[in-house]
Amino acid sequence: MIPFLDLKAPHVELREEIAEAIARVVDSGWYILGPEVDAFEAEYAQWCGAAHCVSVANGLDALHLALRAMEVGPGDEVIVPSNTYIATWLAVSQCGATPVPVEPVEGTYNLDPSLIEAAITPRTRVILPVHLYGQPADMDAILVIARKRGLRVLEDGAQAHGARYKGTRIGGHGDAVAWSFYPGKNLGALGDGGAVTTNDPTIADRLRVLRNYGSRVKYVNEVQGWNSRLDPVQAAVLRVKLKHLDAWNVRRAAIARQYLDGLAATDLVLPEVPAWAEPVWHLFVVRHAQRDALQAKLTEAGVGSLIHYPIPPHRQAAYAEAGFAPDAFPVASRMADAVLSLPMGPHLHMDDAARVMEAVRAAA
């Protein structure tokens, strides 16, 4: 059996370094915020080329609190992709604001900049592109629109640690980037974790207050905040794993190269990579008209696969109240019916990737 993702492998590889890092936290006597969290924030900000990093408890909180730091609230609208993981939308809803979906480009799965202006209203405050599957969205095109219309840009970087747009790492293109360190992400903790990077000192300052009960000085509460902090244990683990992330992303890229070459002659729709994009291949997503049959055959052949995502947010019961017609976003719906994620990860062996391709070629 070739699993879709071997979550244990990176931790087995780094077992001793991780154990030492955790022991350091145990011995420090410091278990909330403090030096380990400060060190991770500084290292991660530097790694992704942003002036500030504020860590939080998870990726959803990173999105939600970043929107709050941009003063998004009831009555406001935020432009989101129609084909993202639901967390992107939930963060907007948690502010009391309204997610306004825009369809993606079919080849790259990312927000189509040519459709954004038509979705802007006087209530729009933020454009929220997602760097989906590890491929950067077209940031310059999005930023031109945002600057022209006086909007903020918050990026959902949950799947794109290390991805480069026009040679520069995701981290400081827009006003802020929200990150998730959920275990399955390219940079994952041993549990939940998240962060926001930004070049804007005001956003960073507000986030530090919002994540900590609205407090800068203990027992002095400036605003009604949240308890959303990255644990020092997770920060220590992330510091270890960050040192290996570039090498791991290189391995993912090598597998993606194999897949792109080896599956070119099949009737699968393969991901398109624009010249300016250096994806980090969080997921390798193909499309096929008989997706469910293809997946069943792969399972029979011992090849794991997953669907990201089977139901677009506008068709979820969670958004029934918004009253979207089921066919309101046909590109997102078509994608949901046809996408399939093949095994991908830094610890997938090349000969296993070759076996995956053989199984896909036989099945497709």
Ligand X SMILES: *Cc1c(COP(=O)(O)O)cnc(C)c1O
The verdict on 10 binding ligand X (CB under 6 A) reads no
Is 185 considered catalytic here?
yes
For residue 272, give both structure tokens: 């398109």
Site for ligand X in 79-118 (CB under 6 A): 84-85, 87-88
Catalytic residue among 8, 148, 166, 185: 185
The verdict on 180 binding ligand X (CB under 6 A) reads yes
The DSSP-derived string for 75-112 is T-EEEEETTS-THHHHHHHHTT-EEEEEPBPTTT-SB-
* Least gap, CB of 308 to ligand X (angstroms): 8
Nearer to ligand X by C-beta: 41 or 357?
A: 41
* Least gap, CB of 124 to ligand X (angstroms): 20
Report the distance separating Cα 131 and Cα 112, nearest Å: 12
Distances from the Cα of 124 to the Cα of 92, 146, 232, 342, angstroms: 12, 10, 37, 37
| x/- track of binding to ligand X for residues 113-132 (CB under 6 A) | -----------------x--
* Least gap, CB of 256 to ligand X (angstroms): 18
Part of the chain binding ligand X (CB under 6 A), chosen from 44-52, 156-164, 200-208, 320-328: 156-164
The verdict on 55 binding ligand X (CB under 6 A) reads no
* Least gap, CB of 133 to ligand X (angstroms): 9
Residue with the two structure tokens 């927000």: 111
* Least gap, CB of 84 to ligand X (angstroms): 5
List for the chain the helix, strand, coil content (%; round to 5): 40, 15, 40
Part of the chain binding ligand X (CB under 6 A), chosen from 53-61, 69-77, 141-149, 352-360: 53-61
Count of Cβ atoms closer than 10 Å to residue 289 Cβ: 11
> In the chain, where do the E strands start and end?
52-56, 77-81, 98-102, 124-127, 152-156, 164-165, 168-169, 176-180, 194-198, 215-217, 220-221, 277-278, 284-287, 339-342
Residues in the chain, total: 364
Nearer to ligand X by C-beta: 85 or 248?
A: 85
Contact positions toward ligand X, by CB under 6 A?
58-60, 84-85, 87-88, 130, 156, 158-159, 180, 182, 192, 194
